[in-house]
Amino acid sequence: EAKDRGDGGYERYRPGMEARGAENSRRAAALRVALLEDQLVVYFQPVVTLPDGRITGAEALVRWQHPAEGLLGPGAFIEAAEQTGLIVPLGAWVLRAATREAATWPGEQSVSVNVSARQLREPGFPSLVAAALTESGLPARRLTVEITESVAVGGGATMENLRGLRDLGVRLSLDDFGTGASTLTLLATCPVHQIKLDRSFVPDGRPDAIADAVAQMARAFGLEAVAEGVETAEQAARLTRLGYEKAQGFHFARPMPAAELRARLTTTVAVP
Ligand code: C2E
Ligand code: MG
Ligand code: MG
Ligand code: MG
């Protein structure tokens, strides 16, 4: 995946890269049409509080309802979008769709939107976010922007945008924490509110040392600790003991269409 390169957009040469480049251009051309013809869909995966499992929000995850190939996950097209710059209009679309949907939710639930390093380097990105909030009526405090450690190489424009987002009152989350070039300096200089432990570090029969260290780091920096990819009750229990405040994963709920999530949120409110 493009974000896993952790270098904000460039990649060392590997055999087969030209072929993949051509494949990406083909994908991107089809994706451009998909954007125009409304083939993209946003799914939502609940984020719950530990230990009680109450839904406090959801992460917006883009899908492509491909006319021939069926429902495609981001693994099939985000890299192509990033390499061609199409991630900029695609990301703007997701942001508008996600904030519009979250504004219909019955309570104070927040929506998390993934933003790629490429989008975050765009001048005026905070204005785009501000416009999505105004159009949807969603209060800034209910939007969380998820970034990855690759933003560390984004330079001044990126940092300026991050501060711009923070000044809007939007919350920032450091996603896939532990997989990139995470440094203490980044945590100390980047105005984030939350860190999201990557699912590869969720305790799974192995020692909990990494998950524990990340939770302690979050506490030291005054940040909220969230775990993603939680698949079992045992994992949820261990994360709770380690001090994780929130979690996300198949154990609680899979990503689902907007209407399904809305129905769940409404039920939760109606039946205390
Ligand atoms: P992510 O932001 O780390 O999102 C979490 C991914 O883990 C999602 O995959 C979700 O379906 C999956 N997941 C959640 N719980 C579990 C679990 O318990 N077990 C396992 N094995 N997986 C779980 P998805 O939807 O395929 O998205 C993959 C990645 O694509 C995301 O990773 C994110 O980096 C990127 N992405 C998704 N939507 C967008 C978007 O709108 N814009 C950008 N720039 N990137 C996006
Ligand atoms: Mg994410
Ligand atoms: Mg993640
Ligand atoms: Mg991840």
Average pLDDT, the chain: 90
Q: Flag the least confident range among 19-23, 235-239, 265-269.
A: 265-269
- Structure confidence at residue 18 (pLDDT): 67
Q: Parallel, antiparallel, or unpaired: how do β-strands 143-147 and 246-247 relate?
A: unpaired
Choose one of 41, 43, 61 to mutate for the ligand 1 pocket test, by most ligand atoms within 8 angstroms of C-beta. Answer: 61
Proximal ligand: closest to the CA of 236: 1
pLDDT of residue 5: 40
Q: Are 121 and 160 in contact (CB under 8 A)?
A: no
Say if residue 9's pLDDT is above 80: no
Of 160, 229, 162, 167, give the one whose Cα is nearest residue 196: 229
Beta-carbon count within 10 A of 27 CB: 23
**Percent of the residues in the chain that have a pLDDT greater than 70, as a whole number:** 90
ipTM surpasses cut 0.95: yes
Distance CA 61, CA 68 (A): 21
Task: Give the lowest-confidence range in 50-54, 109-113, 182-186, 227-231.
Answer: 182-186
Query: Could you read off the pLDDT of 137-154 as tens digits, one per residue?
Result: 999 999 999 999 887 777
DSSP states of 125-166 as a string? Answer: HHHHHHHHHHHHT--GGGEEEEE-GGGGGS-HHHHHHHHHHH
Q: Evaluate if residue 12 carries a pLDDT over 70.
A: no
When pLDDT is averaged across residues 6-14 and rounded to a whole number, the result is 51
Distance (Å) from CA 272 to ligand 1 centroid: 30
Paired tokens of 219: 């506490």
Query: In a 10 Å sphere around its CB, with 0-12 CB exposed, 13-18 middle and 19+ buried, how is residue 10 labelled?
Result: exposed
Residue 214 or residue 21, greater confidence: 214
3-class secondary structure, 257: strand
Distance CA 110, CA 48 (A): 11
Tally the residues of the chain. 272
pLDDT higher than threshold 60 for residue 7: no
**Cα–Cα dist 7/5, whole Å:** 5
Neighbours of 152 (CB within 10 A): 23
Query: Which pLDDT score, from 0 to 100, does residue 266 have?
Result: 81
Could you read off the pLDDT of 175-192 as tens digits, one per residue?
999 887 767 888 888 889
What is the identity of the amino acid at 56? T
Is the pLDDT assigned to residue 162 strictly greater than 70? yes
Q: Is the pLDDT of residue 269 over 50?
A: no
Local structure of 47: helix, strand or coil: strand
Cα of 271 to ligand 3 centre, how many Å?
Answer: 31
Nearest ligand, CA 118? 1
What is the reported pLDDT for 261?
97
Residue list, ligand 1 pocket, CB within 6 Å:
3, 45, 61-62, 73-75, 78, 87, 91, 94, 114-116, 146, 175-176, 199, 228-231, 248-250, 255
pLDDT in tens, 223-260: 999 999 999 999 999 999 999 999 999 999 999 999 99
Q: What type of residue is 212?
A: D
| Exposed e or buried b per residue across 221-240, where buried means at least 16 C-beta atoms within 10 angstroms of its C-beta | eebbbbbbbbeeeebbebbb
CA distance 147 to 195: 10
User: Rounded to an integer, what distance in angstroms lies between the CA atom of residue 25 and that of residue 22?
Assistant: 5
The token duo for 191 is 């105005």
Token output for 259: 């209407």
CA 48 to chain centre: 15
pLDDT at 154: 75
> What band does 265 get if pLDDT is binned at 50, 70 and 90?
very high
**Residue nearest to ligand 1 atom 11, measured at CA:** 255
Element (H, E) at 248: none
